[in-house]
C-alpha cells in the first residue's frame, strides 16, 4: 500500500497579519490572496487562486497611488505623475514590498512550483502583494487598504520621481552668447554599433577649440553630454 503524500503544515497566518499590520475578520480572504494558481489546480480542497484578487488589488493600488500623488505633488506635471505612479506600482516595486512582508514564507504553491523556487519569483510575489491589497480592501474597506499601501509607497516617492531634465546645450549657448564674437559648433566624431544600438561621439567646439566631448545613443544625447562637460570645465 503506497504511503500518502505528506501535506505541509498550515502557514502561521497570525505571523503574516503581524507583518501586514492588519487583523482580518475573514482570514479566508488572506489565505485566498496567498493561493497561487498552481496550488489551486493541484489541491482539490482549495477555494480558488488569487488571480481575481490580484485583478482587484491592481486597480486599488493604482487608484490610491494616483490620488496621493495628485493631492501631495501639486507641482508635478501630468507626464511626471504618470511616470512616478508607474514606478510605484510596477512588478519590481510590488515584489520589493512583498519581500518586506516576507510573503514568500506564506505562499501556497504546488509541490513543483515550491521546489522550483516559486516563493522567491518576482512575478508571483508581486501578484501576491496586489492580492493582499484586495483582501484588505474587501475585509476592512478603502481606508484600511489606503493606509497599508501608503506605508510602502510614501518612502519611495522621492526616488521614484523622474529626474528633472537639464538642457546643457541651452545653458552653454546662453553663456557663450554674452560674447557675440564667440561661436559654438557641435561636431560628430564617431558612430558605432548596429542600427538598433548605435553609439555616437560628439565634440563641442568654441571657435574651433574643443571644449567638451560626449557620447550617447543618439546625436542629441551626445551633444548634451558634450555641453555638460564644457560647462563643468568652465566652472558651472
In the residue annotation, 174 being an active-site residue is answered as no
Active-site residue, selected from the candidate residues 113, 130, 139, 229: 130
Distance CA(236)–CA(223), nearest Å, equals 17
Q: Which three cell numbers stand for residue 145?
A: 487598504
Active-site residue, selected from the candidate residues 26, 51, 58, 191: 58
Neighbours of 201 (CB within 10 A): 18
Cα-Cα-Cα-Cα dihedral sign, residues 63, 65, 71, 74:
negative
In the residue annotation, 80 being an active-site residue is answered as no
Asked if residue 113 belongs to a known ligand binding site, the reply is: no
Asked if residue 139 belongs to a known ligand binding site, the reply is: no
| SS3 of residue 11 by DSSP | coil
Asked if residue 127 belongs to a known ligand binding site, the reply is: yes
Per-residue DSSP letter, 197: G
Distance CA(53)–CA(51), nearest Å, equals 5
Binding residue positions for Mg(2+): 54, 127, 130
What are the catalytic residues? 58, 130
Amino acid at each position: 500500500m503506497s504511503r500518502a503524500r505528506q501535506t505541509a503544515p498550515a502557514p502561521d497566518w497570525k505571523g503574516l497579519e503581524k507583518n501586514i499590520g492588519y487583523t482580518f475578520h475573514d482570514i479566508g480572504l488572506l489565505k485566498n490572496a496567498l493561493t497561487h494558481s498552481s496550488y489551486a489546480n493541484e489541491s482539490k480542497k482549495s477555494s480558488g487562486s488569487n488571480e481575481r484578487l490580484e485583478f482587484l488589488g491592481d486597480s486599488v493600488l493604482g487608484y490610491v497611488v494616483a490620488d496621493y500623488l495628485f493631492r501631495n505633488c501639486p507641482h508635478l506635471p501630468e507626464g511626471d505623475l504618470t511616470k512616478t505612479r508607474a514606478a510605484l506600482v510596477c512588478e519590481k516595486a510590488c515584489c520589493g514590498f512583498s519581500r518586506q512582508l516576507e510573503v514568500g514564507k506564506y505562499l501556497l504553491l504546488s509541490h513543483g512550483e515550491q521546489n522550483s523556487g516559486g516563493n522567491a519569483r518576482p512575478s508571483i510575489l508581486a501578484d501576491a502583494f496586489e492580492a493582499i491589497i484586495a483582501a484588505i480592501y474587501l475585509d476592512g474597506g478603502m481606508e484600511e487598504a489606503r493606509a497599508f499601501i501608503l506605508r510602502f509607497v510614501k518612502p519611495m516617492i522621492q526616488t521614484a520621481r523622474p529626474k528633472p531634465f537639464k538642457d546643457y546645450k541651452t545653458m552653454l549657448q546662453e553663456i557663450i552668447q554674452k560674447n557675440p564674437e564667440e561661436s559654438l559648433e557641435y561636431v560628430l566624431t564617431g558612430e558605432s554599433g548596429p542600427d538598433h544600438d548605435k553609439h555616437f561621439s560628439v565634440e563641442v567646439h568654441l571657435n574651433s577649440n574643443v571644449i567638451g566631448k560626449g557620447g550617447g545613443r543618439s546625436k542629441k544625447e551626445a551633444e548634451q553630454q558634450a555641453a555638460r562637460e564644457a560647462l563643468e570645465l568652465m566652472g558651472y
